[in-house]
Amino acid sequence: MMNREEALALAERGVDELLAALDQGKSERLREYLAFQARFHRYSFNNCLLIALQKPDATFVAGFQRWKELNRFVRKGEKGILILAPLVKRSKRDEETRREEDKPTTKVVGFRAAYVFDVSQTEGEELPEMSVILGDPGGLPDSLRQLIARNGVELRYEASLGGALGVSEGGRIAVLQDLTPAEEFAVLAHELAHELLHRTERRKETTKTIRELEAEAVAFVVCRSAGLESLERSSDYIQLYQGDKELFLASLNHIQRVAAQIVDGLIELSGSEPHGTVAADTGQVVR
């Protein structure tokens, strides 16, 4: 059984191997991890990396007690999959300044080793049908349009966008008319990603190429989560890494955060909730 330090070292090696692959022009490795993120969208990139390194065929993981709640039990002798779970500290405002309606807040003060198990390592009652966004593909764009409106972004459709399929304008999104439902969904996800990722002060810290690739990566994760194949430009993902490891990890953190925000919003709008999320994982990138 690994401890926290060994898990951090394993994740670090995984990142280094990914960077080495990108240095060699092999961007499909990053695409593989983005696809893995689509399966575990509420986990941080590093926790997805840890799960993939320890059990690459994992499909649905949960902690020991969570499996018991689902009337399934981890088989004797099965090896747990280590992730890093946050240590959360409750805090309150100073009593003299705290308003009556203020609620206690929480703060992550560190991380500890925690173990999850894949469904293939358990036995017991059949699981309820897995919660998925997919149903009628034609209904996916409608859910995403609702989510766009919920984020205070205006949406319009145009007969021509100068060769573009969609445009993010800061508080407004324009999409080309007459796209197929799958195309429309991918374009809407891409442009909403721009609105959530790049209409902040961070815009000044990124290039146009990085912004496009981050939005495309978010759309890839969202589409794969919905059971759709997105437009893939995997060879271009190499450009997310420009020799700066910290900037690359920061970019992956933002991609994970916004993809999870969109997928969670779509799940909420579909009226279903995934039952395998480990509450201990905050979705933060652990370093």
234 domain residue, yes or no:
yes
C-alpha span between 173 and 193 (Å, rounded): 11
In a domain, 132, yes or no: no
> Is residue 280 one of the residues assigned to a domain?
no
Q: What is the C-alpha separation between 34 and 193, in angstroms, rounded? A: 15
Residue 106 domain-assigned?
yes
Residues 114 and 214 in one domain: no
What pLDDT digit, counting tens, does each position of 235-257 carry?
677 778 777 888 888 899 999 99
In a domain, 180, yes or no: yes
d(CA 221, CA 50): 18
Residues 163, 239 share a domain: yes
Q: What is the pLDDT of residues 44-103, one digit of tens each?
A: 888 999 999 999 999 889 999 999 998 999 999 999 999 998 887 766 554 445 555 555
84 with 143, same domain? no
Same domain, 146 and 201: yes
Check if the beta carbon of residue 264 is closer than 8 Å to that of residue 241: no
| Domain shared by 63 and 168, yes or no | no
**Domain tally, the chain:** 2
Would you say residue 149 lies in a domain?
A: yes
Same domain, 160 and 254: yes
Residues with Cβ within 8 Å of residue 24, at least 6 apart in sequence = none
Tell me whether residue 283 is in a domain.
no
62 & 92 share domain = yes
Q: b/e string for 62-97 if b means 16 or more Cβ within 10 A?
A: bbeebbeebebebeeeeebbbbbbbeeeeeeeeeee
Residue 276 counted as domain residue: no
Give this prediction's pTM. Answer: 0.79
Domain that holds residue 165: 137-270
Please check whether residues 114 and 9 belong to one and the same domain. Answer: yes
Whether residues 43 and 89 fall in one domain: yes
Q: Are residues 171 and 87 in the same domain?
A: no
Cβ atoms < 10 Å from Cβ of 154: 11
Tell me the pLDDT band of 205, cut-offs 50, 70 and 90. Answer: confident
Both 109 and 141 in one domain: the answer is no
Whether residues 118 and 234 fall in one domain? no
Residue range 148-202, pLDDT digits in tens: 999 999 999 999 999 899 999 999 999 999 988 888 898 999 999 999 999 877 8
